[in-house]
Amino acid sequence: MAKKDPERDDREEREPTVNDKRRIDPETGDVKQPGDVRESGDVPDSDDPAVEESPEGVEDIELVEAEGPDVELSDEDIALLAEAERDLVAEYRERAARAEAELKNLRTRVERDRAANREVVIAEVIRSLLPAIDDLDRAEAHGDLAEGSPLAIVASKLRTGFEKYGLQKVGEKGEAFDPKLHDALVRLPSPDATGETIADVIEPGYLLGERLLRAAKVAVSVPE
C-alpha cells in the first residue's frame, strides 16, 4: 500500500480550481456546450440540480417597519404645545393684518399719484391755452366781444369749462402785493401808499386749485 504524502495532499487542497466560463472556445472559436470540460476544471452543467442559478434581478428585501413604544405626553407638554399653536395662529393673524394695511396704503398712494398726474396733465393743457384767454380778455376790453356774438359765446364756454377744473384769475387792482402770486414789473412810489399795493395789472395770473399756473404781472404802488 502506497504511503500518502501529507504535504502533497495539503497543496492539492489549497490549490484553487479555475472554472472557465467563457461561452466561446478561445482555441477553436466554437460555442461551448453545457457539458464541455476544460483543462482548467470541469464546467458544471446548467441542468445539474446541485448548481443554483443566480437571480437576474435584485432579491426582494422585506422591509419591516420598526414600531417604537407609545409616548404619553404629560399635561405640561400638552399645555406647551397648545401655547405654541396659539402663538403661531396669532403670528399669522398679525402678518395678515400687516399685509392688508400695506395693501391699503399702496392703493392710497396709487390713487394719490393718479390724481396728481391728472392735475399735472390738466394744468399743462390749461397753461397752453392761457394766451388764447388773454386774447379774449383784450378783445373784451376793446369792445370786440359784443353780447350774443359768436366770439362772445365761445369765450363764455371756454371760461365756464376752465372754471369747472378750478381755474381762478389772480391779480386785481387794489389788492395787496403777494410775491408768491404776483410779479412786480414796475414799482411806483406814492405818498398815499401805506404798503405795497397793486396799482395796475399788466397780465393776469391764474391758479388751478392750489397750483400756480402763471404769476400775475403787475405794477406796484409803494410808499415814498
Cα–Cα–Cα angle for 184, 190, 196, nearest 5°? 40
For 43-101, how does the pLDDT look when each residue is reduced to its tens digit (9 = 90+)?
444 454 444 444 444 444 444 444 555 667 787 888 888 888 888 999 999 999 999 99
Q: Is 0.85 topped by the overall pTM?
A: no
Residue-by-residue DSSP string for 167-201 = EEEE--TTPBP-TTTEEEEEEEEETT-SS-EEEEE
**Cβ-count burial 187-223 (b if 16+ within 10 Å, e if not):** eeeeeeeeebbbbebeebbbbbeeeebbbbbbebbbe
User: What is the pLDDT, as a whole number, of residue 36?
Assistant: 53
Element (DSSP H or E) covering residue 221: strand 216-223
For 101-160, how does the pLDDT look when each residue is reduced to its tens digit (9 = 90+)?
999 999 999 999 998 888 889 899 999 999 988 988 888 888 888 787 888 888 888 888
Q: What are phi and psi of 22, to 5 degrees?
A: -70, 135
* Residue 127 neighbours by CB distance under 10 Å: 14
Domains of the chain, residue spans: 166-224
Q: What are phi and psi of 144, to 5 degrees?
A: -85, -15
| CATH number corresponding to 166-224 | 2.30.22.10
- Answer yes or no: is pLDDT of 6 > 60: no
Report the candidate in 15, 40, 16 with the shortest Cα–Cα distance to residue 27.
40
